[in-house]
Structure 1
Amino acid sequence: MTLVAMCNLTMIYSTLVWIPTWLNSYTHQADQKQDTTNNNSTTLQNAPLPSLSWTLVTLFGLQTMLGLVQWSLHSSSTNKGAKKSSKGGDSSSSVFSVLNTSIAIGAVGTLICHVFAVLFGAGIFNQAKETSQLAVYLSLLTFYPASFVLGTDLKSWLRIFVHNSPGTYTEAAFYCQGMMAIFGAWLGSIVIPLDWDRPWQAWPVPCVLGAFMFYCIGTVVGLVVSIVMRQRAARNEFGIGSGAGTAQAGSKKNKSE
């Protein structure tokens, strides 16, 4: 879990540095080629598309690798009592089935995020490509990584993300990362209507940056929550805690009487 959190933090940092760099380069090229303000505003609106597309492909590849690692760790931990003998073809086919399931869930998550973005004020036809990019980003940060572990278990999805009750360390990490990413995307939309005339104010760059920043925070929070849950489970297993303390106090009272 710690390794996955470190990989997530590295990915977040590189993406947050990459997006403004691409935006500045495209803005500089636009300033050299266009002189009128109308043409400048048009190029600034179209500038985020190439940079976000490149980071989108990078994010998909990294999330796929991390998801496969989490899937292998989760499957190995849950199948300790199962048979260890398995053929190579079965393992490869299971990997492909997990990938197909995760991609399908990610596509459904993209549709859900797109619908919610429209409900929160995004245009249905105006800048539809940018809105779809934001939806894919949010799906890759919320639905796609969790699908490698949860799969098609609808009860687990509802229990974690609707009823807010994750039960394991991995579920707590997914919950913190996903909720913080959605909150960051919503919070980033505040700076869009401000008249600062900055290139990073173009839709949906503030929402993407906010989602990545708070996803990074959610990764740290999820790691801390997982450590706390693990320590509590260890204390309960070895009888360390308030219950054990009260039992020892009661035994001392009985001996004194």
Structure 2
Amino acid sequence: MSLVRPRGFKKTVSFTVQPTESQEEEIHPSVSIPGLYTSPLLLPMHHLLIIIGLFKDGLTQNPLRVMVKGALVLLAVQLVYGYVLSVVSGADSNKEKRGKKQSRNFSSHVAKVLVATLVSLLFTPVAFVVLVLFGAPLYGYLAETYILGVHLSLMIVQPLLIIFGMDFEQLYSVAKSATVFKLIFTNPILCSSFFCVLGTWLGVVPIPLDWDRPWQQWPITLLAGGYGGCVLGLLIGYISQYL
């Protein structure tokens, strides 16, 4: 009888290394978002004053003329508001990064605001195209639609560029985040921009209604919806910081 010797089995030991917290952050990087702003100087009272002033100045009688005038007023006011926002965001950043000095002086804030404002104005053609794609009339109202794009760009794009420090990659990371809406409602500026877009979109609703009201002219309701949404959004984002 032949004996068959069993084959030997080679023992192997494998180790599974659990990733550390720092490694997990590298694999799944967290979205960086600007800090919260609790300064009452950020409350958008100027938006309310501007839209009320536009109606008092005859927005329903001559929309184009009044909108152009309002865009110039908004531009001047947003420069001041943008400077305050830049200072406040810089102060909050310093609080979060204690021990790290940041040499931000008057000239650096002014430069940031000027560049952000210029870039936001360059976004006006993009806003114009988006408005046309979403149903803006192509005949007879092109100038009004373009000036509406100026208003929206200054209210939406300029503050975002200031708080994100002109970092488009960081802004894009927020937009594609799975928790984008949570991020929006925890930041007053993001919330303001979101509601400005939403208010402009909802502003289309009253136009086709058969009421024959002067304020139903294109694009008065969209302009009012944008301003109202901007104010409402910032107030919601501001109050949510204390909840």
TM-score normalized with structure 2 length? 0.72
Equivalent position to 2:169, from 137, 155, 171: 155
Equivalent position to 1:19, from 33, 54, 75: 54
Q: 1:50 to 1:71 in 2, by over 3 A?
A: same
2:91 pairs with 1:76: yes
Select the structure that is richer in helix. 1
Q: 1:143 to 1:162 in 2, by over 3 A?
A: farther
Q: Deviations over 1:206-249 (max 9, x none)?
A: 10001111222111111022233xxxxxxxxxxxxxxxxxxxxx
User: Deviation at 1:116?
Assistant: 1.0
2:160 pairs with 1:146: yes
Range moving further from structure 2, 99-108 or 128-137: 99-108
Q: In 2, Cα distance between the equivalents of 1:191 and 1:178?
A: 22
User: Deviation at 1:196?
Assistant: 2.2
Aligned residue runs from structure 1 range 167-206, under 5 A: 172-206=187-221
User: Deviation at 1:137?
Assistant: 1.2
Q: What amino acid does structure 1 have at the position aligned with 2:57? A: W
Q: In 2, Cα distance between the equivalents of 1:155 and 1:129?
A: 32
% identical aligned pairs: 24
Q: In 1, Cα distance between the equivalents of 2:63 and 2:187?
A: 33
Higher radius of gyration, 1 or 2: 2
Following TM superposition, the consecutive aligned residue runs of length 4 or more in structure 1 with deviations greater than 4 angstroms are 165-169
Q: 1:182 to 1:83 in 2, by over 3 A?
A: closer
Q: 1:20 to 1:93 in 2, by over 3 A?
A: closer
Q: What amino acid does structure 2 have at the position aligned with 1:221? A: I
User: Deviation at 1:166?
Assistant: 6.7
Aligned residue runs from structure 1 range 117-156, under 5 A: 117-124=131-138, 126-156=140-170
Query: Is the Cα–Cα contact under 8 Å of residues 142 and 178 in structure 1 kept in the other structure?
Result: yes
Q: In 2, Cα distance between the equivalents of 1:213 and 1:165?
A: 20
Q: What amino acid does structure 2 have at the position aligned with 1:135? A: G
Q: In 2, Cα distance between the equivalents of 1:114 and 1:166?
A: 28
Q: In 1, Cα distance between the equivalents of 2:75 and 2:175?
A: 22
2:69 pairs with 1:4: no
Q: In 1, Cα distance between the equivalents of 2:220 and 2:121?
A: 21
Q: CA RMSD in A?
A: 2.6
Q: 1:70 to 1:166 in 2, by over 3 A?
A: farther
User: Deviation at 1:96?
Assistant: 4.2
Structure 1: state its 5+ residue gaps. 28-46, 229-257
Task: Provide the secondary structure at the position in 2 that maps to 1:156.
Answer: helix
Task: Provide the secondary structure at the position in 2 that maps to 1:4.
Answer: helix
Aligned residue runs from structure 1 range 216-235, under 5 A: 216-228=231-243
In the alignment, what sits opposite 1:52? 67
Aligned residue runs from structure 1 range 82-101, under 5 A: 82-83=100-101, 91-101=105-115
Task: Provide the secondary structure at the position in 1 that maps to 2:174.
Answer: helix
TM-score normalized with structure 1 length? 0.69
2:142 pairs with 1:107: no
Query: Is the Cα–Cα contact under 8 Å of residues 188 and 234 in structure 2 kept in the other structure?
Result: yes
Q: What amino acid does structure 2 have at the position aligned with 1:104? A: L
Query: Is the Cα–Cα contact under 8 Å of residues 2 and 223 in structure 1 kept in the other structure?
Result: no
User: Deviation at 1:168?
Assistant: 9.4
In the alignment, what sits opposite 1:35? none
User: Deviation at 1:77?
Assistant: 3.5
Structure 2: state its 5+ residue gaps. 1-37
Q: What amino acid does structure 1 have at the position aligned with 2:40? A: L
